[in-house]
């Protein structure tokens, strides 16, 4: 650990780490940070360095290694190393962990953010039990939209199209 980090109180190092991590973009959706997405679960510090706990959006997420490397690089570049990163899979990540600012950024980026996950209800179904909900287009605001595919650029998003303006958009599925 560098000499400056050793002299800094633990609380200050942790606060600085959170500030740095707030600027680390998600590799699949660069408009939102890993903190706004709710992936960073905790940051702690001791004499051995910083310890960051991450919860991936789902257990098979292909971006997990890129997220870990982005977090590590950002903290080391900020002079906060050494860094250890752990993975916590329980409780499982849920779209309810996306911050309000993250939801706003998703919409501005052109991805309709997920609604809240209702307790006790299975949020992701392979066989729909109710009519597909109509989403407002993030570009023109029309709710005259249709789902084109259950999966978009990643498994956590579905592909939709606005029938009013003709533009495609993605919807971040609630899980």
pLDDT digits (tens, 9 = 90+) for 58-102: 877 888 999 999 999 999 999 998 999 999 999 999 999 999 999
- Predicted model pTM: 0.77
Query: 47: helix, coil or strand?
Result: coil
DSSP secondary structure letters along 71-89:
HHHHHHHTT---EEEEE--
- Residue ranges in the chain modelled with pLDDT below 70: 1-8, 118-132
Q: What are phi and psi of 126, to 5 degrees?
A: -90, -20
Tokens of 79: 């002079």
Return the domain boundaries, the chain.
Answer: 3-87, 96-172
58-85 burial, b at 16+ Cβ within 10 Å, e below that, comes to: beebebbeebbebbbebbbebebbebeb
Q: For residue 123, what pLDDT is reported?
A: 52
Output DSSP code: residue 83: E
Report the CATH architecture of 3-87.
Answer: 2-Layer Sandwich (3.30)
């Amino acid at each position: 650990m560098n000499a400056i980090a050793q002299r800094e109180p633990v609380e200050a190092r942790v606060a600085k780490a959170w500030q740095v991590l707030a600027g680390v973009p998600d590799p699949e959706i660069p408009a939102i940070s890993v903190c706004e997405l709710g992936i960073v679960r905790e940051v702690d510090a001791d004499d051995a360095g910083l310890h960051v706990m991450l919860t991936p959006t789902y257990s098979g997420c292909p971006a997990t290694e890129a997220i870990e490397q982005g977090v590590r690089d950002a903290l080391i570049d900020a002079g906060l190393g050494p860094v250890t990163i752990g993975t916590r899979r329980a409780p499982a990540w849920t779209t309810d962990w996306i911050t309000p600012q993250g939801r706003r950024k998703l919409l501005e980026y052109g991805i309709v953010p997920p609604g809240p996950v209702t307790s006790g209800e299975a949020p992701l179904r392979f066989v729909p039990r109710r009519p597909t909900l109509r989403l407002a287009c993030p570009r023109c605001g029309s709710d005259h939209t249709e789902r084109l595919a259950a999966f978009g650029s990643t498994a956590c998003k579905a592909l939709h199209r606005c029938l009013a303006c003709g533009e495609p958009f993605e919807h971040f599925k609630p899980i």
